[in-house]
Structure 1
Amino acid sequence: MSTTFTLDTATSRANPTPKPMRRLTVPAIQKRKGGEPIVMLTAYTARMAQLMDAHCDMLLVGDSLGQVIYGLPSTLSVTIDMMIAHGAAVVRGSYHSVVIIDMPFGTYEASPEQAFASAARIMAETGAAGVKLEGGEAMAETVAFLTRRGIPVVGHVGLTPQAVNALGGYGARGRDEAEQAKILADARAIADAGAFSLVVEGVVEPLAIAITQGVGVPVIGIGASAQCDGQVLVAEDMLGMFDRTARFVKRYDDMAGRISAAVERYAGEVRERAFPGAEQLYSI
């Protein structure tokens, strides 16, 4: 999706008037390697996409929605139907960013053919620009299979949440030389297979820098290094919606506190019969 368009603002609060802006493309993101840093955030709803779109280069519909939206203990229970529903909403709510959708656990690992069927469905039903999948050298054949068939792929190496059971938790990766070498080899394999970008999550900084310098595609860090080609965070984390976040999250606001305070004021006015007031009521 690279053409400009105008949303109908007459009938729905969900469609404020967007500023005229051409949607970025996958090749445009590829050209940012070593240049202006790429800004990426997660988005799961149309309204959040609208609010973030003008400021971001990429919006990721992450399977983290399982925890953020649905209160699940991990990403493993997220379904492809969930990803498609939220992905389509984010595409509808954006007009500038490249929208990428996570492929959920169990929808791509069995074979390249399974991955293609899942990715094709996601893209056809959402209008997204591409998909993201986790894994290193073992997924290189799948990445090549997808990219040869016109599906842009973002890779994901380092701390891979879908493999949390195998990894034994969410701790930082690459603390010893052997694991560093393995993750660097994973990154190179996925980049060489045709991924147009890589997310590198939860690794020690020297490894993040080595990966950024060692592959020819943009590396987007999360808990990695400011020297990566871009950064991504879960939007609700950086907005301060949760009490607990990972060490690598910087809170740019306290939205949880502000929402709680607003609801407290509303509740007080309802109980005092101060709301609704004259300005909220209809007269004959």
Structure 2
Amino acid sequence: MSVAKNDYKRITVKTLVDMKAKGEKISMLTAYDYTMAKIVDGAGIDVILVGDSASNVMAGHETTLPITLDQMIYHASGVVRAISRSLVVVDLPFGSYQSDPKEALRSAIRIMKESGAHAVKLEGGCEIKESIKRILNAGIPVMGHLGLTPQSIYKFGTYTVRAKEDTEANELIENAKMLERIGCFAVVVEKIPAKLAKEVARQLTIPVIGIGAGNGVDGQVLVLHDMLGMTHEFNPRFLRRYMNLFDDMTTAIEKYVSDVKSVEFPNENEQY
């Protein structure tokens, strides 16, 4: 049982800021449905991200772009019903906030009202500042996201490491400071140099959560299906697989098929 699970009965945005102040690392994983979220929450995770990565993991799309606001609300609703401890953050999907602050607010309100989530996450910096401010002014907590922003994949054309050059690195630091200044409670930094991520965490008083950003930040996030080894095509350097469920599940299903075919299942004790 984790120290965090003993200390905190319910994680809030204030809890996360307090954890950073105390030097306590923040654990964060994705989840997209009731059953998995129940397990993740029970294991003591601090933050559950209902990520737009559901577009890849749950629906098989190549990018995160196709998932809709209605679909995000559907996934988030199941997750919220499962949890008793974790903070639930939901991604605003592509097209629901970038062009119009009023549309951004409507999208965020729908997520909060219809799913019961605790916060939303948006990708980007100064270009979406007004959308973030509009959402914050409505009393909705916002988590930022900088570095590699998957919703902009067609703009950058690659999932390579971001902010390796000084100009982009400085811009990222300024955007992170801006997100803190306008009221975001935390920032995710994805696939940026570890040295830069550590500097961002040093300069901010709000938590900085990393994915592919080294261990100098305030916490870590991974996609649940990746870290459990349910996926096997995705092999970035930052991913640690804690299980190999792809092989284990395949073996179990093959055994089930074999038992059904041979009438080994069900046996006399497994019928009425």
TM, length-normalised to structure 2: 0.94
1:47 to 31, 35, 58: 35
C-alpha distance in 1 between matches for 2:18 and 2:165: 32
Cα displacement string for residues 28-70 of structure 1 (whole angstroms, at most 9, x for unaligned residues)? 1122224210100000010101101032010000000000000
Q: Does structure 2 conserve the Cα–Cα contact (< 8 Å) formed by 1:40 and 1:60?
A: yes
User: Which amino acid is 1:154 matched to?
Assistant: M
Note the alpha carbon deviations across 1:102-148, whole angstroms, 9 max, x for none: 00000001122111100000000011001000001112222222112
Structure 1 residue matching 2:160: 3-state secondary structure? coil
What is the correspondence of 1:254-273 to structure 2 with a 5 Å cutoff? Answer: 254-273=244-263
Residue 147 (structure 2) aligned to one of 147, 150, 158:
158
Point out the more displaced range, 137-146 or 93-102. Answer: 137-146
- Tell me the alpha carbon deviations over residues 167-225 of structure 1, each in whole angstroms, 9 at most, x when there is no partner: 11110111111111111111111121111000000001111011111112100000002
Within-5 A mapping of 1:101-140: 101-140=90-129
Aligned mates of 2:218, 2:132 — CA distance in 1 = 21
Q: What is the alpha-carbon distance in structure 1 between the residues aligned to residue 251 and residue 121 of structure 2?
A: 37
Q: Secondary structure at the match of 1:199?
A: strand
Supply the distance in 2 between the matched residues of 1:140 and 1:214 (Cα, whole angstroms). Answer: 20
Identify the match of residue 239 of structure 2 among 222, 243, 249: 249
SS at match of 1:33: helix
CA contact (8 A) 1:141 1:193 kept: no
1:28 aligns with 2:18: no
1:52 aligns to what SS in structure 2? helix
Q: Which runs of 5+ in 2 are unaligned?
A: 1-7
Identity %, equivalent residues: 42
- Give the structure with the larger helix fraction: 2
174-183 vs 26-35, which moves further: 26-35
Are the equivalent residues in 2 in contact too, given 1:131–1:154 (CA < 8 A)?
Answer: yes
Is the Cα–Cα contact under 8 Å of residues 61 and 83 in structure 1 kept in the other structure?
Answer: yes
Q: Shift of the alpha carbon at 1:22?
A: 3.5
- Out of 252, 262, 265, which is 1:275 matched to? 265
**Farther off after superposition, 197-206 or 238-247:** 238-247
In 2, Cα distance between the equivalents of 1:125 and 1:23?
21
Q: Decide which moves more: 61-70 or 264-273.
A: 264-273
Aligned residues: 263
Distance 2:165 2:98 in 1: 27
Structure 2 counterpart of 1:33, one-letter code = K
Please, what is the CA RMSD of the aligned residues?
1.3
Equivalent residue number for residue 146 of structure 1: 135
2:144 corresponds to which letter in structure 1?
G
What is the rounded CA distance, in whole Å, between the counterparts of 2:264 and 2:172 in structure 1?
60
What amino acid does structure 2 have at the position aligned with 1:212?
A
**Are 1:83 and 1:102, in contact at CA under 8 Å, matched by a contact in 2?**
yes
**Map of 2:64 onto structure 1:** 75
Contact 1:137–1:185, Cα closer than 8 Å, also in 2: no
2:246 maps to a residue whose letter is A
Secondary structure (helix, strand or coil) at the match of 1:171 reads coil
* 1:23 Cα deviation from its structure 2 partner: 2.5
Corresponding residue SS for 2:120: strand
1:184 counterpart SS class: helix
User: Match of 2:3?
Assistant: none
Superposed displacement of residue 25, structure 1: 1.4
Query: 1:3 aligns to what?
Result: none
- 1:18 is aligned to none
Cα separation, 1, equivalents of 2:26 and 2:9: 17
